[in-house]
Structure 1
Amino acid sequence: MLGLSRAFTPIALQRTSYRNPVETYTFISGQLPSGLTFARASVGSYTQVDGALVLAPTATPRFDYAPIGGLPRGLLLEAAATNLVDRSTGYSTTSWRRNGVSVGGPNATSPMAGVLSEMIVEDSSNGRHDIEYNFGSGQAGEAYSASIYVKQGTRSRVRFRCGRSDSAESITVNLISGAVEAVGTRVTSHRCEDVGNGWWRLALTTTLDQTSTAQYLQVRLLDASGGDSYPGNGSGSINVWGAQREKGNSTSSHIVTDGARATRQQDVLTLPPRSGLYDLMLYFDAGITEVRKSVLLSQGWTFTALSARLSRIEIFPQGSL
Structure 2
Amino acid sequence: MPTPAQTFDFRQEPSAFNSSILFSRESEASYYGADGYLHFAQSGINWLAQSQNCANNPWINVRVTPSVTSEVMAADGTSTANRISETSTKGEHRISRNLNVPLGQPVTVSVYLKAGTRSRVQFSFSNATTYTGGNPTIKFNLATGTFISKSSNLVSCKAVDSGNGWWRLQITAMPDLGIASGFHIYILNDSNNTSYLGSPDKYIYAWGAQMEPGSTMTAYTPTLNAAYIGLRYNYSLAGSAPELMGALIEPEATNLVPFSQQLDEAGWRKQYATIVATGIKSPDGITNGFKIRESSNTSSHYIVPNPTIATDLGNTYTLSAFFKAAERKWAYFNVNGLTIHFDLSTGIIGNKSSVFINSAIERAGNGWLRCSATFIATKSATSTVIGPEISNGQQSYAGNGSSGILVWGVQLEKSEVATSYIRTGAGAATRKADIVKLARPSTEGTFDVFIQRKNGGDWAKQTVADYEVVPSENEIQLISFYDTNEISNAHEETALTLFPEEFVSVGASGTMLTMFDKLYNTQTPNKQWSLQKAINKTSPVYRVEVNAKEVWTGDYTNQYRERSEFYLKNYQMPYDRDVWLSFAIKIEPGAPLTLEPSEFCYIGQFHASEDPGDISSPPVLGLRLDGLDTANVYTCATTENPHTKSPKSVLRGTTQFTRGIWHKNVMRIRFSPTKGQLQWWKDGKELVNIANIGLGYPDATGPYWKFGVYRSPMPEKVVIQYANMEVQHSSSLQSRIANPLLIV
Which TM class, normalised by the smaller chain length? 0.7 to 0.9
Give the direction of change, closer, same or farther, for the CA distance of 1:36–1:105 in structure 2 (3 Å limit): closer
1:152 and 2:325 are equivalent in the alignment: yes
- 1:90–1:33 distance in 2 versus 1, CA, 3 Å: same
Selected match of 1:310 from 465, 476, 492: 476
Which residue in the other structure is 1:6 paired with? none
Partners in 1 of 2:472 and 2:453 — Cα distance?
A: 13
Report the Cα offset of residue 105 of structure 1. Answer: 4.0
Maintained 8 Å contact 2:275/2:293 = yes
Instruction: Give me the whole-angstrom Cα distance separating, in 2, the residues matched to 1:137 and 1:76.
Output: 28
Which structure ranks higher in relative contact order (CA pairs < 8 Å, sequence separation ≥ 6)?
A: 1
The answer to whether the 8 A contact 1:26-1:33 is kept is no
Task: Give the deviation of 1:78 after TM superposition.
Answer: 0.4
Query: Which residue in the other structure is 2:448 paired with?
Result: 279
Secondary structure in 2 aligned to 1:29? coil
Alignment of 1:105-144 (within 5 A): 105-133=277-305, 134-144=307-317
| 1:181-200 equivalent positions in 2, closer than 5 A | 181-200=350-369
The match for 1:30 is 13
**1: CA distance between counterparts of 2:341 and 2:279?**
23
C-alpha displacement at 1:224, in angstroms? 4.3
Separation in structure 1 between the aligned mates of residue 400 and residue 273 of structure 2, nearest angstrom:
11
Matching residue within 269, 272, 294 for 2:462:
294
Question: Aligned AA for 1:27?
Answer: F
Q: Give the whole-Å Cα distance in 2 for the aligned partners of 1:40 and 1:230.
A: 47
Q: Which amino acid aligns with 1:235?
A: S
> Does the 8 Å CA contact 1:267/1:304 hold for their aligned counterparts?
no
Structure 1, residues 127-167: CA drift from partner, whole Å, max 9, x if none?
Answer: 11001114344443121111000001101111123x312x2
Letter of the structure 1 residue corresponding to residue 262 of structure 2: G
- Does 1:218 find its partner at 2:392? no
Distance 1:152 1:193 in 2: 14
Q: CA contact under 8 A between 1:50 and 1:67: conserved in structure 2?
A: no
Shift of 1:72: 1.0
Question: Which TM-score applies when normalising by structure 2?
Answer: 0.39
Task: Give the Cα–Cα distance (whole angstroms) in 2 for the partners of residues 142 and 108 of structure 1.
Answer: 36
Distance in 2 separating the partners of 1:26 and 1:139:
39
> CA shift at 1:191, angstroms?
0.4
Decide which moves more: 175-184 or 105-114.
Answer: 105-114
Shift in alpha-carbon separation, 1:311–1:33, aligned structure 2, 3 A: farther
Secondary structure in 2 matching 1:196:
coil
Report matched runs for 1:13-92 at 5 Å.
16=1, 19-31=2-14, 33-59=18-44, 60-68=230-238, 69-92=241-264
Q: Letter of the 2:234 partner, please give it.
A: D
Tell me if the contact between 1:43 and 1:56 (Cα under 8 Å) persists in the aligned partners.
yes
Q: Is the 8 A contact 2:4 2:483 kept in 1?
A: yes
- Structure 1 ranges of 4+ moved more than 6 A: none
CA contact (8 A) 2:275 2:290 kept: yes
8 Å CA contact 2:277, 2:288 repeated in 1: no
Q: 256, 259, 262: which one pairs with 2:426?
A: 259
Contact conserved, 1:107 with 1:119, CA < 8 A, in 2?
Answer: no
CA distance in 2, matches of 1:74, 1:44: 15
What is the Cα deviation at residue 225 of structure 1?
6.6
Contact 1:160 1:202 in 2 (8 A): no
Separation in 1, partners of 2:383, 2:279: 25
- Determine if contact 2:351/2:392 at 8 Å carries over to the other structure: no
Conserved? CA contact 1:279–1:295, under 8 Å: yes
> 2: CA distance between counterparts of 1:291 and 1:132?
44
Q: SS at 1:307's partner residue?
A: coil
Residue in 1 that maps onto 2:370:
201
Whichever residue aligns with residue 146 of structure 1, its letter is L
Amino acid at match of 1:200: L
One-letter identity of the residue aligned with 1:113? G
Could you say what the CA RMSD is over the residues aligned between the two structures, in angstroms? Answer: 1.7
**In structure 1, C-alpha distance between the alignment counterparts of 2:289 and 2:310, rounded to whole Å:** 29
Q: Any residues of structure 2 matched to 1:154-169 within 5 Å, and which?
A: 154-161=327-334, 163-165=335-337, 167=338
* CA distance 1:242–1:74, shift in 2 (3 Å): same
1:245 is displaced (CA, Å) by 0.3
Query: After superposition, what is the alpha-carbon deviation per residue over 1:273-314, rounded to whole angstroms, capped at 9, x for unaligned?
Result: 53121001112224x2211100112xx221131323111111
Cα distance in 2 between the residues matched to 1:83 and 1:41: 16
Alignment length, in residue pairs?
A: 295
What's the counterpart of residue 9 of structure 1?
A: none
Secondary structure at the aligned position of 2:347 is classed as coil
Write the distance in 2 (CA, Å) between the matches of 1:23 and 1:40. Answer: 24
Deviation of 1:33 (Å):
3.7
**In the superposition, relative to structure 1, how do residues 27 and 139 fare at CA in structure 2: closer, same or farther (>3 Å)?**
closer
Q: Point out where structure 1 has 5 or more consecutive residues left out of the alignment.
A: 1-15
Partner Cα separation in structure 2 for residue 147 and residue 186 of structure 1: 16
Any idea what SS the aligned residue of 2:234 has? strand
Structure 1 pair 304–224 and aligned structure 2 pair: CA distance change class (3 A): closer
How far residue 174 of structure 1 moved from its aligned partner, in angstroms, is: 1.0
3-state SS in 1 of match to 2:327: coil
1:4-62 Cα distance to aligned partner (Å, 9 max, x none): xxxxxxxxxxxx3xx21111111122126442111111110000012100000104110
CA drift of 1:74 comes to 0.8
Q: Distance in 2 between matches of 1:25 and 1:227?
A: 50
Task: Tell me the distance in 2 between the aligned counterparts of 1:194 and 1:147.
Answer: 13
The amino acid across from 1:71 in the alignment is E
Equivalent residue number for residue 63 of structure 2: none
Q: Does the Cα contact within 8 Å between 1:49 and 1:71 map onto a contact in 2?
A: yes
TM-score (norm 1): 0.87
Q: Give the counterpart letter for 1:216 in structure 2.
A: S
- Mapped partners of 2:279, 2:232: distance in 1: 28
Partner residue in 2 for 1:7? none
Distance 2:470 2:460 in 1: 13
Question: In 2 relative to 1, CA 257–291 (structure 1 residues): closer, same or farther, beyond 3 Å?
Answer: same
What SS does the corresponding residue of 1:78 show, helix, strand or coil?
coil
Aligned position for 1:242: 409
* Secondary structure of residue in 2 paired with 1:305: coil
Q: Contact between 1:285 and 1:310, CA under 8 Å: does it hold in 2?
A: yes
CA deviation after TM superposition for structure 1 residue 226, in Å: 4.4
Structure 1 position 196, deviation (Å): 2.1
Opposite residue 350 of structure 2, the aligned amino acid is E
Q: Tell whether the 8 Å contact from 1:25 to 1:33 is kept in structure 2 after alignment.
A: no
What is the deviation of 1:92?
A: 1.8
The 1:123/1:290 distance shift into structure 2, 3 A limit, reads same
Distance 2:481 2:310 in 1: 48
1:27–1:33 CA contact under 8 A, matched in 2: no
One-letter amino acid matched to 1:158? A
| Equivalent-residue separation in structure 1 for 2:391 and 2:437 (angstroms) | 52
Give the equivalent residue in structure 2 for 1:8. Answer: none
| Percent of aligned pairs sharing the same letter | 26
Amino acid at match of 2:318: S
**Residues in 2 aligned to 1:305 and 1:137: alpha-carbon distance in whole angstroms:** 26
